[in-house]
Structure 1
């Protein structure tokens, strides 16, 4: 468990819990905390962005209650490292102890109480990453979204603890490459679907989808181009209407939205990559066809929880 982020990633030490909570709200997930009326807890936090993931190691240093109506578009994978944490959900209560894993689904209300010595490692995964893993493996995801069981034992998840350690090592590497990060994020999502109880049918779809795979590959290969709906429909030998249905079936979104999201992800990878030649945000945005820079910045912040200039500044610091 010591491999799950080290001092390189430490952002807060012996800090005000509310300052740590504010940072978590910006980067890891929206929540509120309630502290005991007496005492002065000292919180600590380590954080790394890694591809589409956020990795976080956190302790509040006191008996803190953490609540949220729902995480909405993200999954939270929480591994208890020390202490205990009282979880309330689905009319149940459970004290998580070291080595146990809590999976919080996007529509799950959050109600957790940390012990004084509680420390957690958290992985934030966008829901689209899980949906894409289903599509990549030709598994059928429910129309109302993928849901995981809440409680798991880490030691029973074959190789998963080692995978988390490798991801953290790569996240803290000075030469971590965006393409490597993307491969790791896909592996994490697929391993979760394969190892944790969920509502996904792992029986392959009745019909194969070479057309869709070819389309996704074409989009990834041509992200700097202006890809039109007509161009994709012609490539897939289908009508625009059928193309919409294909993307809705596999990804639950439209072709236009998918292309924009992939472009944003590629921009973020460029801004994060320490070896990429990036002079400024504007140059990269224009390179990927974002001509309205104000609109681009808002879309970027909506997707990743920070402005593109913040991503670039963190790389340069």
Structure 2
């Protein structure tokens, strides 16, 4: 077993050399099991599922789980703490949610949004072999955790799905202004879109629609542009013998230097290193 943990989200790579039967007591979290090799038979909450690389099994809180695994098989096991997934949903909807969320017993991973979600989870799995992965950097971890949780909620049916995917009402200008001010005050803060929605006092979807209507960009795109502005200003004032581009980029919330450099060049027409050299 290999595991990567991002707060309430845990992704594990499990391998079984021999056939295995597992019985688990009542769960206190949401689990998704995605076989990558071989098959897994699962029984949970009155449902029986045969999971394989194209079908994931899903287990909700409050019921025991029985699974039978093939020999020479492997799977990705995703665990999401109950409170975290329900809070993520509440943030997306902009109102309290009474769980549990009735996720389906099986997910078709062969196409559509669920397939895209499975690729996101595999990205986390691929980082397991790198002890110094940027995925564990707080700025990246928060974004990825939220993406995995909201992606699951958006890609599978449940009792809140129609409300979650229906038309959104734009947040009012005053709420959008609060978020803009918060971004200007602390652009280096590891904001997630849920954090910004909480500042606005709206749902995530209302915040996004309000930004589209009143600002002309998504909240996270606006945050990135503000961070790029701060980096540019800092580089222009800095001594190239005393600071590096990486130090300045990290200071203003950029963890992935390759993507930062590309975004900077797209915004200012030159690489950040040139701006720093010209300051000297």
TM-score band w.r.t. shorter chain? 0.5 to 0.7
Look up the SS of the partner of 1:155 in the other structure.
coil
CA apart distance, 1:98: 2.3
Change in 2 beyond 3 A, CA 1:110/1:205: farther
Tell me the matched-pair count: 177
CA apart distance, 1:140: 5.7
Change in 2 beyond 3 A, CA 1:170/1:59: closer
Question: Using the alignment, how far apart are the partners of 2:11 and 2:77 within structure 1?
Answer: 6
Structure 2 match to 1:190: 150
Query: Does 2:53 correspond to 1:93?
Result: no
Whichever of the two has the greater Rg, that structure is 2
Question: Using the alignment, how far apart are the partners of 1:85 and 1:196 within structure 2?
Answer: 20
**Structure 2 matches for 1:216-255, cutoff 5 A?**
none
* Contact kept in structure 2, 1:129 and 1:186, CA below 8 Å: no
Question: Using the alignment, how far apart are the partners of 1:165 and 1:206 within structure 2?
Answer: 34
Change in 2 beyond 3 A, CA 1:170/1:117: closer
Query: Does 2:116 correspond to 1:159?
Result: yes
Structure 2 match to 1:230: none
Structure 1 match to 2:13: 57
TM-score by length of 2: 0.53
* Contact kept in structure 1, 2:35 and 2:51, CA below 8 Å: yes
* Contact kept in structure 2, 1:139 and 1:205, CA below 8 Å: no
Name stretches of at least 5 consecutive residues in structure 1 with no aligned partner.
1-44, 222-234, 237-317
From 40, 50, 66, the equivalent of 1:111 is 66
Structure 2 match to 1:47: 3
Name stretches of at least 5 consecutive residues in structure 2 with no aligned partner.
187-198, 201-280
Structure 2 match to 1:69: 25
* Contact kept in structure 1, 2:24 and 2:65, CA below 8 Å: yes
Question: Using the alignment, how far apart are the partners of 1:55 and 1:83 within structure 2?
Answer: 19
Question: Using the alignment, how far apart are the partners of 1:109 and 1:139 within structure 2?
Answer: 31
Question: Using the alignment, how far apart are the partners of 2:59 and 2:46 within structure 1?
Answer: 15
Structure whose residues are more often helix by fraction:
2
